[in-house]
A and B are shown apart, each in its own frame.
Chain A
C-alpha cells in the first residue's frame, strides 16, 4: 500500500517551498488551500490550481478527520510541477488508504456518500504515496505540468535525489494500486507447478512498475541442470545496459537471481528486492516441498533396499546387488570391495551407469599408487570414515562395517553436473550400513552352512568297506540350501565275529543338537557292537543312553547283522527300532517285499521291544534301507510313500548295490521339483556271491 520513500525534496533556484503547521480544525483545508494557491502563483503554476486545491483539500481533510493532531503542510513547487505533503503527528501506521471505486449506480439511493477523496488523488496526481517520519506519517502527491508529463529523457531531469529513470512513460513512484497488485500476486494453490506462472506474474508487475525494458528470473535447483530461466519479461538486455540484479534468498541447493533491465534507482532497487523476497519465500516453500517428496522417496528406496538385501543370504549375490541398488540413483558408478582375511581389499562387484564405461572403471580401480582410488579406499577402510575421492573418479568411499568388523568399502562416483546433496550422502551411508550387515549376515550364514555340512559329513562313513561277497552302497542327499543338519545317518561296522553290522537311523529334529545326538548314537553302536554285545542289548543300552542324555530326542534305527550263511546265502539278522521296514528284492523275481518287524523307537520309553527277524539273501538279492526323507518326499501335498518306493525298487532286482541305490535316489529326487525338505539316505545291502547280471 505504501511506497517506502517520500516524495523527492528538491532544492534549487527555481524552487518555492512553504511549510505550515495547522491545527486539526475544520478550517484547516481552506488554510492549506491558501498556502498552495500562493505557492502556485509564485511559481507560475496556475494551470495546476484546480487539481492542486482539490488534492490538498482531500489530504488535509483526511488528516483532520483521522489523525486529529496538528498537521504539517509542505508545498514545494518548481518549473515542472508541485509536490504537497500533508503529515500528522499521530503514532501508529497510516490508516489504511483505500482508493474508493468509481460510482456506477444511477439511483441516488444507492450512491455512497463518502470514500472519494483518494479516488480523486489517485486520478489527478502524477504520483502519490505515503511517507513515514519519526514523528508521524504523511501522505503526499505530485502534480506535474501537462507539458512536462511523459517527456523523454532530453528534458532536463529534475535535480537531486530524484527517483525516476527518465524513460518514456516510466513512472518512478509506484502507485498504491500497483503496490497492492505486487503484494497480492500469489501462486495458484491448485496448479501442478505454479511457480513459473507466479514468477512471470510478479516479474511483469515489478518490471512495469520500475519501467524495466526486460527482466528474467533464473533458478538453479541444484539438480544438475544448472540455472534455468523461470520467467522472462520484455526484451533481452542490450549490451552495456545497467542491469539490476538481486539474488534470491533461498537455501542450498537452490540458488537464483532476479534481473531487471532498469537503472538501479531509488524505487527500482527496493521494489526489485521486495519482489525477490516474495519470490524467494515461495521458492523456499517449493524447495522444502520437493525435499520432503524426495525424502519420502529415499525412505521407500531404503526400505526396498533393506528388504532386497535381507533376502539375500548369499555373499556373492549380496555383493553384486549393492552396485545395482546404488547405480544410477545415487551415483554414476559404484564399486564394492571386500576385505580378505589378510586385510587386503578385493574388488567384489562394480557397476557403471554407462555400460561402455565399465572397462575403464575396472582399469581405474586396478590402478595402484598413492593417489589411486585403491589408496583412498584403503584409507576409508582403515579410518572407518567417509573419504572423498578426487577427480577423475570423483565421488566418495564409505567403509562397510558390520558388528565392528571391517568388511570392505563401498565407493560411489558422483554424477557429472550434479551436486550430491546431504540427503543423498546420508542415504548412501545408510545403504552402506545395510549392505555391510547383509554381507555379514550372508557370511555368517555361509559359515554356518559350512559348519553344518562338515559336521554332517563327519557323521557319515567316508567310504563303505569293500567286503568279499557282500555289496554295500549308500546314497545321501542333504537337505537343500538349508543350514540345518538333518539327523539321518548310516554306518557299516565290522563285528568281532566276522560279520558286518549295517546301521541306518534317523534322529528326530535337525541342527547341531540333532547332529550331536546322531554322533552319540553312532558311537555307542560302534563301541557296543565292537565289544560283541548282542544287538538287542545294544539297542536296550542305546535306549537307556538316549533317555538319559538324548535331551528329549529320539531315534529310529535299523540294524542288520550280515554274515555268510548256508551255501552262497547271506544270513541277515534284522532289528528294527521304530524304523521303516527295508525292502527285499529277490533276484529270482517276484514282488519286492517289506521285511522285518517294527520295534520301539529309541529314547522314548524306559523299556523297548526289539523283535528280531532272520532272513537269508540268495545271491543277487538286495535289502534296501532308507530313511523317511525318501518316503516323505513331497510333491505338493502328495507323498512319495512306501508303495512307490517298493514299486520303484522291483524292476531293479538283480542289479548291483550301487545301481539300485543310485536309481532309487534318482527316482525319489525326480519325484518332485521341490528341494528335499529332509535328508535322504538310502543304503543297499546285496549278496554279491554271484557276479553281476
Chain B
C-alpha cells in the first residue's frame, strides 16, 4: 500500500470515450492519467468521460491535471466530463472553486 496505484481502462463507443479510473491520483499517478487522456485526444471523440467511481484519493496535483486535461480537450473540440465524483472530492472541488469550471455529471450519486 506504499505506492499509489491508478488503473485506467478505456472504452470507446460512438461519440465518447469512457475512462474508468480506479485508485489514487497524486503526483505519482497524475502523469499516467495525462498520458492516457492525451492518447485518447489524438483522435478526439466529442466527449471524454472520466468515471471516477473507483478513485479513492485525489490531491491538488490531480486537480491540476484535470484542469489541464479539460483545457486540452476543449482545444481539441472535445469535452471532458467527470462522473461518479466522490463526496469528498466534490467538497474539495467546491473549496477550490473548480466545480463550476469542470464538467461534472453525477447521474447516480455515489454513496
A104-B97 in contact given A50-B88, A53-B57, A113-B64 (Cβ < 8 Å): yes
Could you say which residues of chain B place their CB within 8 Å of the CB of A113? 64, 67-68
A117 to B95, CA, bound (A): 11
Are the C-beta atoms of A61 and B98 separated by less than 8 Å?
A: no
B contact residues around A114 at 8 Å (CB):
60, 64
A27 pairs with B2, CB closer than 8 A: yes
CA distance A650 to B57 in the complex (A): 132
B window 64-82: CB within 8 A of A: 64, 67-68, 70-71, 74
A33 to B2, CA, bound (A): 8
Please tell me if A106 contacts chain B, counting CB pairs below 8 Å. Answer: yes
B64→A30 contact, CB < 8 A? no
CB-CB under 8 A for A120 and B26, given A29-B4, A112-B67: no
Say if the beta carbon of B21 comes within 8 Å of chain A. no
User: B63, A30: Cβ atoms under 8 Å?
Assistant: no
- Across the interface, A58 reaches (CB within 8 A) one of B28, B59, B88, namely B59
- Roughly how many angstroms separate A103 CA and B3 CA in the complex, as a whole number? 30
Whether the Cβ atoms of A58 and B60 lie closer than 8 Å is: yes
Shortest distance between the CB of A426 and any CB in chain B (Å): 64
Is A68's CB within 8 Å of the partner chain B?
A: no
Counting CB contacts under 8 A, is A288 at the interface? no
| Residues in chain A near residue B95, CB distance under 8 A | 102, 119-120, 123
How many residues of chain A are within 8 Å of chain B by beta carbon? 33
B31: min CB distance to chain A, Å:
9
Q: A29-B4, A58-B59, A113-B67 are in contact. Are A103 and B24 (CB under 8 A)?
A: no
A64 within 8 A of B: yes
What chain A residues lie within 8 Å of B88 (beta carbons)?
50, 54
- CB within 8 Å of A: which of B55-111? 57, 59-61, 63-64, 67-68, 70-71, 74, 88, 92, 95-98, 100-102
Residues of chain A lying within 8 A (CB to CB) of residue B28? 26-27, 29-30
CB A123 to nearest CB in B, in angstroms, measures 5
Q: How far is A123 from B74 in the complex, measured between Cα atoms in Å?
A: 30
Chain B neighbourhood of A638, CB < 8 A: none
Identify which of B3, B27, B67, B98 gathers the most chain A CB atoms within 10 Å of its CB. Answer: B27
Contact of A54 (CB < 8 Å), options: B4, B27, B67, B92:
B92
A85 interfacial by beta-carbon distance below 8 Å:
no
Q: A29-B27, A33-B57, A103-B101 are in contact. Are A116 and B96 (CB under 8 A)?
A: yes
Kindly state the separation between the CA atoms of A103 and B60 in the bound complex, as whole angstroms: 13
Indicate if A302 sits at the interface (CB-CB under 8 A): no
What residue in chain A is nearest B68 (Cβ atoms)?
Answer: A113
Tell me the complex Cα distance, A114–B102, Å.
Answer: 15
Instruction: Give the complex CA separation of A112 and B96 in angstroms.
Output: 11
If the complex has contacts A57-B26, A108-B67, A120-B95, are A34 and B101 also in contact, measured as CB distance less than 8 A?
no
CB contacts (< 8 Å) of A105 on chain B: these are: 101
- Could you tell me the distance between the alpha carbons of A566 and B92 in the complex, rounded to whole angstroms? 144
Q: How far is the CA of A403 from the CA of B56 in the complex (A)?
A: 97
- Residue of A whose beta carbon sits closest to that of B57: A53
Asked if B101 contacts A120 (CB within 8 A), the reply is no
Chain B CB within 8 A of A355 CB: no
1/0 contact string of B31-70 vs chain A (CB within 8 Å) = 0000000000000000000000000010111011001101
- Look across to chain B and name the residue whose beta carbon is closest to the beta carbon of A25: B28
Min Cβ gap A389→B in Å is 73
Contact of A111 among B27, B60, B101 (CB under 8 A): B101
Which residue on A lies nearest to B65, using beta carbons? A113
A65 to B95, CA, bound (A): 23
Considering only residues 16-64 of chain A, those with a C-beta below 8 Å from chain B are 26-27, 29-31, 33-34, 37, 50, 53-54, 57-58, 61, 64
Chain B residues contacting A65 (CB-CB under 8 Å) are: 27
Decide: B27 and A61 in contact? CB cutoff 8 A. yes
List A contacts of B57 (CB < 8 A). 33, 53-54, 57
Provide the bound-state CA to CA distance between A108 and B72, in Å: 10
Contact with B along A642-674 (1 / 0, CB 8 A): 000000000000000000000000000000000
A466 at the interface (CB under 8 A from B): no
Query: Which residue, of A26, A29, A65, A108, has the highest number of chain B Cβ atoms within 10 A?
Result: A108
| Interfacial chain B residues near A30, Cβ < 8 Å | 2-4, 24, 26, 28
Docked-complex contact A27 and B3, CB < 8 angstroms: yes
Interface contact A61-B101, CB-CB below 8 Å: no
Of B27, B64, B74, the residue contacting A108 (CB under 8 A) is: B74
A239 interface residue, CB < 8 Å from B?
A: no
How far, in whole Å, are A117 and B59 apart by their CA atoms in the complex?
A: 8
Question: Chain B nearest CB: distance from A276 CB in Å?
Answer: 36
Q: Which residue of the partner chain, among B27, B64, B68, B96, contacts A102 with CB atoms under 8 Å? A: B96
Partner of A34, one of B2, B59, B60, B92: B2
Residues of B near A371 (CB, < 8 A) are: none
Report the minimum CB–CB distance from B63 to chain A (whole Å). Answer: 6
Give, as a whole number of angstroms, the nearest-CB distance from A104 to chain B.
6
B101:A107 contact, CB within 8 angstroms: yes
Inter-chain contacts of B74 with A (CB < 8 A): 108-109
Q: How far is the CB of B64 from chain A (nearest CB, A)?
A: 4
Closest A residue to B72 using CB positions? A108
Q: How far is the CA of A114 from the CA of B27 in the complex (A)?
A: 12
* B-chain residues with CB within 8 Å of residue A116 when the two chains form the complex: 60, 63-64, 96
Nearest chain-A residue to B1 (Cβ)? Answer: A34
The residue among B28, B60, B74 with the most chain A CB atoms within 10 A of its own CB is B60
Q: Which 3 A-B pairs have the closest CB atoms?
A: A103-B97, A30-B4, A116-B60
Interchain Cβ contacts under 8 Å between A and B, 21 examples: A29-B28, A29-B59, A30-B26, A33-B24, A54-B92, A57-B26, A58-B60, A61-B61, A102-B96, A103-B101, A105-B101, A107-B101, A108-B101, A109-B71, A109-B74, A111-B67, A114-B64, A116-B60, A116-B63, A116-B64, A120-B96
Given A111-B98, A120-B95, 11 additional A-B pairs, CB 8 A = A27-B28, A30-B24, A34-B2, A53-B57, A54-B88, A61-B61, A103-B98, A107-B101, A108-B70, A113-B64, A120-B96
